[in-house]
Amino acid sequence: MSSSFILTVVTYGWFVCSLFYAVALLFKRNFFGKLAVVGSVAVLLMHMAGMILRWKESYNLGIGHAPITNLYESLVFGSWSVMFVYLLFLRRWRIIELGIIPSLLAFLAMAYASFSPNVESRIQPLIPALKSNWLIAHVITCFLGYAGFAVSFGASVIYLAKAKYEDRGLFRSVPDIRTLERFNYQVIIFGFLWLTVGILTGAVWADSAWGSYWSWDPKETWSLITWLIYAAILHARSIQSWSGRRIAILSVIGFGCVLFTYLGVNFLLSGLHSYGAR
């Protein structure tokens, strides 16, 4: 069995999970909630197995490296991280209804990685700039940060939807908005911590590879923009008038920045994260 086959199955797996989460959110069926969680854990393990297998396959090709070095691999890993972080928080918070957006994001990322003709899924050799021990630390920490913000985005959207439509009897099953707000804050802290570590490991790496810990390359700059926005959110939360709704909106904007940092910069701006000497 090849890793790409497993990862294709995983793509459908996330789709099915997001259906379960949708039912759990809209109709409060405990059974579907449990199914969604059990399914997610199973798909997450399979997802991980797929990545490990791909790692092994790269060694079989004689160009062994961790599977986090091109767009395809980063989408696969990003999708895994989002669900990993969601399930991590689920253990303590038990809010199954918030699973819909993380699982949908995981599905969309996997679908894009697997089916888009623009995404090269072949295992490629490492370019010289990426041959460093910092690679794994940098990528994993950045993605944990992104994933935290993705989960926060999901919670914010549901917060806003619940605040708006609750009187019409929708989203009754979702915990009260105070709990959502507290959950959101905790996830943002998690994302902020890991994004900080991610940016800093990137800076240390850049210093050892290119001789400059900061050079205002668009990717760096956008990660700083994201960091500044979440730093603003963390400060704004202590201002009394800046409660729930505004924080949720800022968090949605923040996630927009995350997406732009991750994908937009590569597609829309020039000369970025241009690895390699030439």
Partner 1 sequence: MKQVLDNCYRFLTSLRCAVIILLLLAGASILGTLLPQGITEEGVLALYGENSLKAWVIILFGLTDLYHSLWFQALIGLLALNISLCTAERFPKTLKIWSHEDKELNPERLRKFTNFSELASQKTNEETAAQLKNFFNSHGWKKLTENVKEQKWAGVFVKGWAFLFSVYGVHASVLLILIGAFVGSTMGFKGTMAILQGDSTNVVNLMRKNKVIILPFEVKCDKFDIQFYPDGTPSEYISEVTILEGGKEVRKATIKVNDPLTYRGVSFYQATYGTVIKRAVVSFTDERTGEEIKLELTTENEEELPGKNTVVQLMDYREEFGGFGPAIAIGMLEEGEQPKAGWILVKHPNFHGNRLGHYRLAVVDVEPTYYTGLQVKRDPGTWLVLIGFVLIVIFILATFYGTATKVWCVVEKAGNSTKIYVAMKSSRTGLIDEKFSALCHAIKKLL
- By the criterion CB under 8 A, which residues form the site for partner 1? 62-63, 124-129, 131-132, 182, 186, 189, 192-193, 196-197, 200, 203-204, 207-214, 216, 218, 221-222, 224-225, 228-229, 231-232, 235-236, 238-239, 242, 265, 269, 276-278
Instruction: Name residue, tokens 């924080």.
Output: 247
Residue whose CB is less far from partner 1, 56 or 131:
131
Residue whose CB is less far from partner 1, 62 or 117:
62
CB of 44 to partner 1, least distance (A): 24
Taking a C-beta distance cutoff of 8 angstroms, is the pair 214, 220 a contact? yes
CB of 223 to partner 1, least distance (A): 10
CB of 169 to partner 1, least distance (A): 30
- Return the H-helix or E-strand segment holding 152: helix 134-165
The span from the CA of 159 to the CA of 174, in Å, is 9
Q: CB under 8 Å to 120, separation ≥6 — which residues?
A: 70, 71, 72
| Per-residue tokens: 54 | 């791909």
Residue whose CB is less far from partner 1, 132 or 173:
132
CB of 194 to partner 1, least distance (A): 10
Residue whose CB is less far from partner 1, 40 or 220:
220
Residue whose CB is less far from partner 1, 107 or 222:
222
Residue whose CB is less far from partner 1, 126 or 170:
126
Taking a C-beta distance cutoff of 8 angstroms, is the pair 8, 53 a contact? no
DSSP letter (8 states) at residue 170: T
Please give the angle made by the CA atoms of 278, 73 and 228, to the nearest 5 degrees. 75
CB of 222 to partner 1, least distance (A): 6
End-to-end Cα, the chain, rounded Å:
37
Taking a C-beta distance cutoff of 8 angstroms, is the pair 32, 23 a contact? yes
The span from the CA of 181 to the CA of 243, in Å, is 9
CB of 254 to partner 1, least distance (A): 10
CB of 192 to partner 1, least distance (A): 7
Q: Is the dihedral of CA 84, 44, 267, 199 positive or negative?
A: positive
CB of 259 to partner 1, least distance (A): 14
Taking a C-beta distance cutoff of 8 angstroms, is the pair 76, 110 a contact? yes
Q: Is 215 helix (H, G, I), strand (E, B) or coil?
A: coil
Residue whose CB is less far from partner 1, 46 or 197:
197
The span from the CA of 134 to the CA of 75, in Å, is 19
Residue whose CB is less far from partner 1, 17 or 187:
187
